[in-house]
Amino acid sequence: MTQSSSNRRQFIAQSLAAGAALGALSAIRPSRILGANDRVQIGIIGTGGRGRYHIGWLERTSKVEPLTVIAACDIWNVQREKAKEEIEKRFQVTPALYKDYREMLDNKDIDAVLIATPDHQHCPMAADAVKAGKDVYVEKPIAITLEELNELYDVVKASDRVVQHGTQGRSSAGAKPAREFVQSGQLGKILRIEECRSHYIPYWNHYPKPEREEDTDWKAFLFNRPYRPFDADQHACWMGYRDFSSGTVGGWMSHFSDFLHFITGAGFPITATAQGGIYSPTSDPRRTCPDTVTAILDYPEGFTTLYTTHFGNAANDYTIFFGTKGTMVVNDPDGNRDGIRARISGDGSEHPDKVKEPIELPNTTDEDHMANWVRCIRTREQPNADMDAGYKHGVACILADRAYEEGRKMKFDPEKREIVPA
**Residue 392 included in any domain:** no
Residue 351 has what pLDDT?
A: 87
- Residue 105 forms part of a structural domain: yes
Helices (H), 282-386: 369-379
The DSSP 8-state label assigned to residue 57 in this structure reads H
Mean pLDDT per 10-residue run, the chain (422 residues)?
44 43 46 76 96 96 97 95 97 98 98 97 98 98 97 98 95 92 96 93 74 92 96 92 94 94 97 95 88 97 96 87 96 60 87 90 87 96 97 98 98 97 98
The confidence score (pLDDT) of residue 23 equals: 41
CA gap 52, 36 in Å, rounded: 28
Regarding whether 360 and 326 lie in a shared domain, the answer is: yes
Strands (E), 52-140: 67-73, 96-98, 112-115, 135-138
Tell whether 391 is covered by a domain.
no
Q: Residue 375 falls within a domain, yes or no?
A: yes
Residue 352 lies in a domain: yes
Q: How far apart are CA 109 and CA 161, in angstroms?
A: 16
Task: Assess whether 340 and 324 both reside in one domain.
Answer: yes
Q: What is the rounded CA–CA span in Å between residue 404 and residue 409? A: 9
Helix pair 253-264, 387-406: axis angle to 10 deg: 130
In a domain, 393, yes or no: no
Q: Same structural domain for residues 335 and 191?
A: yes
* Other beta carbons within 10 Å of 146: 18
Is residue 183 located within the same domain as residue 253? Answer: yes
b/e code 93-112 from CB counts within 10 Å (16+ = b): eebbbbeebeebbebeebbb
How many beta carbons lie within 10 A of that of residue 415, not counting itself? 11
Coil vs helix vs strand at 359: strand
Query: Which pLDDT value is given to residue 155?
Result: 98
Same domain, 211 and 299: yes
- 76 and 175 fall within a common domain: no
pLDDT (0 to 100) of residue 26:
41
User: How many structural domains comprise the chain?
Assistant: 2
Same domain, 199 and 96: no
Strands 271-277 and 112-115, how do they pair? unpaired
C-alpha 115/C-alpha 119 separation (Å) is 10
Whether residue 315 is found in the same domain as residue 345: yes
Are residues 412 and 300 part of one domain? yes
61 falls within a domain: yes
Does one domain contain both 247 and 260?
Answer: yes
Q: Are residues 308 and 198 in the same domain?
A: yes
Backbone angles phi, psi at 18, to 5 degrees: -65, -40
The Cα–Cα gap between 261 and 258 comes to: 5
Can you give the CATH number for the domain in which 211 is found?
A: 3.30.360.10
The verdict on 381 and 411 lying in the same domain is: no
**CATH classification of the domain holding 133:** 3.40.50.720
Q: Looking at residue 381, what is its pLDDT?
A: 96
What domain range is 61 assigned to?
Answer: 3-168+371-385
Q: What is the pLDDT of residue 254?
A: 95
Residue 239 lies in a domain: yes
Q: Give the residue from 413, 170, 142, 388 showing the smallest Cα distance to 272.
A: 413
